[in-house]
Structure 1
Amino acid sequence: MATTLLSIFLGALIGIALGTLGGGGSILTVPALVYLLGQDPHAAVTGSLVIVGLNALAGATIHNRSGHVRLRAALMFGVTGLLTAFLGARLSSFLSGPLLLVLFAVLMLVVAVIMLRGGAGKGEVNLTPPVWWQVLLAGSAVGFLTGFLGVGGGFLIVPALVLVLHMDMRDAVGSSLVVIALNSMAGLLGHLGQSTISWALIAMLLAGGVPGLFAGSWLAHRLPAARLRQGFAGLVVLLGIVLLAVNLPKVI
């Protein structure tokens, strides 16, 4: 019962992060699966792709109903990362569990810096046409990280959608969930057969994640985005430091 309640609670936190900020779910998911729910790091990466991908798909549906998903642009960006997500997933199998978590911790700290600096854009709409090679490069890079480390990449996708496809912040948050769902699917295909997926555990996390998405979407329209981002960045920094302290000695 304790594991069930903990899984539902963690799922709710992941859903709130995705619904509110368009990302952050996987930053919580992998450490939670490893250290709170006892998963192997490789299994945690695979499970994270399932959980974050399905939550992102549900979140995109919620935001689309509010008119804040630019589907065509999101699909264009997402499709560019499908191949690199698959390749990243294959490459991650050659790394040890501790090294994978060290790299994940480094990414967490980078993400926290991006969040504390405010990401990209302040909500202004730039009508300049997107540059195709920038779309290709950004989409491919985010896709690779998704497959390699099991992250949705929302905190990289949102700034990229603002800078490269010139979306305002609300549309970028909603549209990023479409990209996360696509990248997670491709990354999952690359991980299949490499580790066992605990579908019962995933079901419990999703049971908390879907209500969390609704709550996050509600919060996104009512609370200052800057304060939410700063608070979450503080949590990400703390988790990143803990992961480095635990796993870096094992790698060295």
Structure 2
Amino acid sequence: MEVIGYISALFVGLIMGLLGGGGSILSVPIFVYLFGFDPVTATTLSLFVVGITSFVGSAGFLKQKLIDFRTAWIFGIPSILGVLFSRRLILPHLPEYIINKWGMVVTKDMFLLLLFSFLMLVASVKMIRKTERPFGRKENGNNYTILVSQGLLVGIITGLIGAGGGFLIVPALVMLLGLPMKRAVATSLFIIGMNSVLGFLSSMKMVEKDWTFMLVFTALSVLGIFVGIAVSKKIDSRKLKPAFGWFVLFMGIFIIVKEIFFKQITI
């Protein structure tokens, strides 16, 4: 299983390079189900891997001058506040048992994985949809207010379940500000990098870390993102999104079924 996990690290980077997000949608299940980490540790490791990989990937886009830094900061600063709120105030104070009444038991670990799987279902629907509403760039206060609020939401999600939120960020940048897809992907990677690295630094003391494992997994993901960026120049990422969306949908359903009905089964 560990060999499959290391091979999967390449796909984490590959998907991020192609779509500007989605790394954490793969990395968290990989850490939990292939390497056996508990969800809190898995989300923390995911923040490290996705953060470093995103920054490396955005460096390639930086040379092409595709990163919209003004938008990145407008979206990123509220996201950072959301990350700190989740990692410092919410996650450490979650009780071991979220629900333990009427014969229903939902542990902290189960709650985090179910919340994560819900995000996967939402992301899969966004990816599977073939129709996209055309939006032009509208620089008005209302759009930027929505962008700031969505940045805060993405930050809270990132901090809580280790998901970079790329599939929330890219649609927001395209639909609210009318950014071209490639510029939205580049800006998304930069925002994800900021959020994820900060989220990891703010929770380093919460988990035990195997730096050798983390660096090897991250190096493979970085290799994957370079491949993804190179391939994205030749393939329209919008054609790949539906296929990946169905895979994410399957994974989300798998996590829900396993956590609720087959908790004791390991793979």
2:217 is equivalent to residue 226 of structure 1: no
1:118 positional shift = 4.7
Total equivalences in the alignment: 248
Query: For the residues of structure 2 that align with 1:97 and 1:127, how far apart are their CA atoms?
Result: 42
Please point out which of 128, 134, 139 is paired with 1:128: 139
1:174 positional shift = 0.5
Q: How much identity, in percent, do the aligned residues show?
A: 33
Q: Relative to 1, partners in 2 of residues 1:18 and 1:119: Cα closer, same or farther, differing over 3 Å?
A: farther
Residue 184 of structure 1: aligned partner: 196
Question: Are the aligned partners of 1:80 and 1:140 in contact in 2 as well (CA < 8 Å)?
Answer: yes
Query: For the residues of structure 2 that align with 1:218 and 1:119, how far apart are their CA atoms?
Result: 26
2:62 is equivalent to residue 32 of structure 1: no
Question: 1:94-243 maps to which residues of 2 (within 5 A)?
Answer: 94=94, 96-118=108-130, 125-129=136-140, 131-243=143-255
Paired amino acid for 1:157: I
Residue 61 of structure 2: aligned partner: 63
Query: For the residues of structure 1 that align with 2:250 and 2:159, how far apart are their CA atoms?
Result: 24
Residue 91 of structure 2: aligned partner: 92
Question: Are the aligned partners of 2:11 and 2:221 in contact in 1 as well (CA < 8 Å)?
Answer: yes
User: Which consecutive segments of 4 or more residues in structure 1 shift more than 4 A?
Assistant: 118-122
Query: For the residues of structure 2 that align with 1:121 and 1:149, how far apart are their CA atoms?
Result: 29
SS in 1 for 2:198: helix
Query: For the residues of structure 2 that align with 1:126 and 1:136, how far apart are their CA atoms?
Result: 16
Query: For the residues of structure 2 that align with 1:208 and 1:168, how far apart are their CA atoms?
Result: 29
Larger Rg: 2
1:141 positional shift = 0.6
Question: Are the aligned partners of 2:136 and 2:175 in contact in 1 as well (CA < 8 Å)?
Answer: no
Question: Are the aligned partners of 1:75 and 1:178 in contact in 2 as well (CA < 8 Å)?
Answer: no
SS in 2 for 1:151: coil
**Superposition RMSD on alpha carbons, in Å?**
2.0
Question: Are the aligned partners of 1:78 and 1:182 in contact in 2 as well (CA < 8 Å)?
Answer: yes
SS in 2 for 1:39: coil
1:122-164, Cα deviation, whole Å (9 max, x unpaired)? 6x65253463322220110111110011001001000111123
- Which 5+ residue runs of structure 1 have no aligned equivalent? none
Q: Relative to 1, partners in 2 of residues 1:119 and 1:218: Cα closer, same or farther, differing over 3 Å?
A: farther
Query: For the residues of structure 2 that align with 1:248 and 1:50, how far apart are their CA atoms?
Result: 28
- Which 5+ residue runs of structure 2 have no aligned equivalent? 96-107
